[in-house]
Structure 1
Amino acid sequence: MRAAGPLVAEPSVFINGRFLTQSLSGVQRYAREIVRALDRRPGAGARYVLLTPQGADASDLDLQSIPVRPVRGGRGHLWEQTALAWAARHGQLLSLGGAGPILHPRQRVVIHDAAVFRHPGHFRRGYAAFHRGLGRLLAARAALTTVSKFSRDELASVLNRPASSITVVPNGADHLARTAPDDRVRSMLGLSGRPYFVALGNLAPNKNIAVMIRALRRLPDPDLRLVLIGANAPAVFDRSAPPPDPRIHFAGRRTDAEVAALLRGARALIFASLYEGFGIPPLEAFAQDCPVIASNIPAVREVCGDAPDYFDPHDDAALADCMARLSRTESTPRRLLQARARLAFYTWAGSARRLEALLAEDRLANTSR
């Protein structure tokens, strides 16, 4: 990482670094990997500056070109709406994490999905209301990008904008393809020699953990395990109570190397989400040649094509059937080829190129006004 020194001229694009103060989920993964990919673009050091709240740590991004400039003024939404807006006032602003300062006149914002509009019950009431209002304000002032055609159409509907005005720059998953697996994690979790399935992601209501638990109960194998990787959400589980099935492992947050090893040894990843704007975990599983059992929802169909086994996310019997089948047999070569093709289509480098082209178009549009 290189700290920003005195600049002869302002860069053309400031990057909103608030994501560095947030827990890692799909949104923050997107921001981190896009910034890393932009850092490898020609001329990145002269074109971009990453603006961060004071005290935010950008060292693990390992940026070689893009300078990092801490900006005083607190953290969170207040920092974003005031200190960030002022620091970026002379250039374009790129906000990758679904929020940005509403008063900045030359901003591109990536809003990842319409979940706060479509499923407000999955969030705290105040959080959902705030982000619905913020989304509407940003839609009126900023250029909008999202991560899938499904999310584009959803956002166009709830924000009353033409779908053609919202661009698509998808996620990638090659970060896990280039990660060396840490195989020690399987013995640490007591999984050596056992068949197991993995669920990956924050354990929030839309992740539909309950259907996995019901499906596991239908399978009598005492050695079978379900490994839940990710931060626990209190709204989903009361961790003071015993797990509903002793075969469930709450593995908590894990490093990319540990996730890669767990996926590589799993019978399959189970991705049971009720609603997604994209869904990175199936692609991460593909990166480790891990089969995928996925809920039959539009965004996952768009991203994964015919590579997974699909099931109705409300049907635990159908999920149990998929799990039983993959417990007995290996994934077919045809499925593996389809998975690798989907993985090759979604790369962080390709998304960074697309985003850079959009920023150039924005700059031309602003100068012609």
Structure 2
Amino acid sequence: MKIIIDARFTRLDHHDGISRYGASLIAATAKIAEVSMLISDVRQLALLPNVPYTLINSPLSPAELFVARKVNALDADVVVCPMQTMGSWGRKYPLVLTLHDLIYYEHPAPPGFLPAPVRVLWRLYHRAFWPQRFLLNRADVVATISATTAALISKYQLTRRPVRIVGNAPQHGHAPRDPGSGADKTILYMGSFMPYKNVETMIRGMAELPDISLHLLSRITPERRAELEALAPAGASITFHNGVTDAEYEAMLGRTTALVSLSKAEGYGLPLVEAMSHGTPVIASDIPIFREVGGDAVSYVHPDSPQEFAAAVRQLEDAELWKARSLRSVERAADFSWDESARRLLDAAAEAKELHERRRP
């Protein structure tokens, strides 16, 4: 089966969640099927696997309305897009579109990197469900990354198409840390600083952890940093790294006491799985998607309770508890793999092809 995967959402300098998902899925699927990809900028190739590609328009270009004309000529058995926004007018190929989450219906602030006109459309788009239904129903099969999101798609009746789970996974290739080596007195946060990520609760909780250092690893705007620094308790040790390399991230995961995420909404929570694959315990907000991903390996706290967060950190100072959580984290992370996601994608692609052929006159 010849599969074309849309890689035009790949970032130019460093991966975000969508970018890493697409690149990892391409790499894994290329091991078991004939895969090529669509890109919109040759600089994206630095973050993508070495598979054949076609250079076409940006997914944010007005030309996206007519992109199917270009893709038709590529003679794909199935086209897969890791987003739901790919243009499809006039398509002649089976199509799998992906909806990662429904976060922005409850938290409508758009990502800051989007152009201003797109941010306006983003807010309008998330004011009602019918635009989402319109986009998803253009597909033959809809993919999503978690059972939590699949349940929400069903709850809000967002599509008439079959919904299949093609999950996220950690980046393997490293050995888990030695659980007997202990940990330094640090905790890590990896993720954006959008309001729903709830970094504020974490910072307030540092008032009870004066001997622990909190490391905020992701890139942050000066304005957002100033807002968060104003909340920092006196004497708290909080470091804004404003971005780290993958190697730096892995090294810090190999030493820290825990990775923390107190987000109020997530599509998946990839940093949790990344940390667990290293044998690093996780402290997370008690929300359905984190329960799905973390199972019994994670310490769950109320997202609005700095006290519960601080208490969970203190509990991990017990060496035997920390070791048990480290070992269980590795076991839990092993349940997720890109190879399994690639097999699921092939199943979804075959189903899309069958359904598409049934609809042909």
- Which of the five TM-score ranges fits, normalised by the shorter chain? 0.7 to 0.9
Is 1:36 paired with 2:36? no
3-state SS of 2:316 partner: helix
Contact between 1:28 and 1:97, CA under 8 Å: does it hold in 2? no
Is 1:171 paired with 2:168? yes
Which of 15, 27, 38 does residue 18 from structure 2 map onto?
27
In structure 1, distance between residues paired with 2:255 and 2:106: 36
Deviation beyond 6 Å, 4+ runs, structure 1: 239-243
1:220/1:52 CA distance change after superposition, 3 Å = closer
The residue aligned with 1:87 is 70
Which of 238, 241, 244 does residue 254 from structure 1 map onto?
244
- 1:40-119 maps to which residues of 2 (within 5 A)? 40-41=31-32, 44=33, 47-63=34-50, 66-71=51-56, 73=57, 75-78=58-61, 81-82=64-65, 84-89=67-72, 90-91=75-76, 92-103=78-89, 104=91, 106-119=94-107
3-state SS of 1:305 partner: helix
Mind listing any 5+ residue stretches in structure 2 that lack a counterpart?
A: 112-118, 177-182
- 1:197-208 maps to which residues of 2 (within 5 A)? 197-208=187-198
Is 1:138 paired with 2:131? no
In structure 2, distance between residues paired with 1:232 and 1:264: 23
The residue aligned with 1:287 is 277
Letter of the aligned partner of 2:53 in structure 1? V
The residue aligned with 2:154 is 156
For 1:71-124, what per-residue CA distance to the aligned partner results, in whole angstroms no more than 9, with x for missing partners? 2x4x24226724632221243321013431142463111110011223225765
3-state SS of 2:244 partner: coil
Letter of the aligned partner of 2:103 in structure 1? A
1:250/1:332 CA distance change after superposition, 3 Å = closer
1:239/1:160 CA distance change after superposition, 3 Å = closer
The residue aligned with 2:308 is 318
For 1:301-357, what per-residue CA distance to the aligned partner results, in whole angstroms no more than 9, with x for missing partners? 011101011100111111011112224535445433432222111101110111011
TM-score normalized by structure 1?
0.82
3-state SS of 2:226 partner: coil
Contact between 2:283 and 2:301, CA under 8 Å: does it hold in 1? yes
- 1:294-305 maps to which residues of 2 (within 5 A)? 294-305=284-295
RMSD (Å) for aligned C-alpha atoms = 2.8
For 1:2-25, what per-residue CA distance to the aligned partner results, in whole angstroms no more than 9, with x for missing partners? xxxxxxxxx732221211246622
The residue aligned with 2:123 is 128
Letter of the aligned partner of 2:64 in structure 1? Q
For 1:187-221, what per-residue CA distance to the aligned partner results, in whole angstroms no more than 9, with x for missing partners? xxxxxx96110011122222110000010012232
Contact between 1:179 and 1:256, CA under 8 Å: does it hold in 2? no
Q: Percent identity?
A: 27
1:121/1:20 CA distance change after superposition, 3 Å = closer
Contact between 1:205 and 1:235, CA under 8 Å: does it hold in 2? no
3-state SS of 2:10 partner: helix
Report how far residue 252 of structure 1 moved: 2.0
Mind listing any 5+ residue stretches in structure 1 that lack a counterpart?
A: 1-10, 182-192
Which of 184, 190, 205 does residue 215 from structure 1 map onto?
205
Report how far residue 55 of structure 1 moved: 3.3
1:144/1:30 CA distance change after superposition, 3 Å = same
Report how far residue 232 of structure 1 moved: 1.5
In structure 1, distance between residues paired with 2:332 and 2:175: 21
1:241/1:211 CA distance change after superposition, 3 Å = closer
In structure 2, distance between residues paired with 1:347 and 1:240: 35
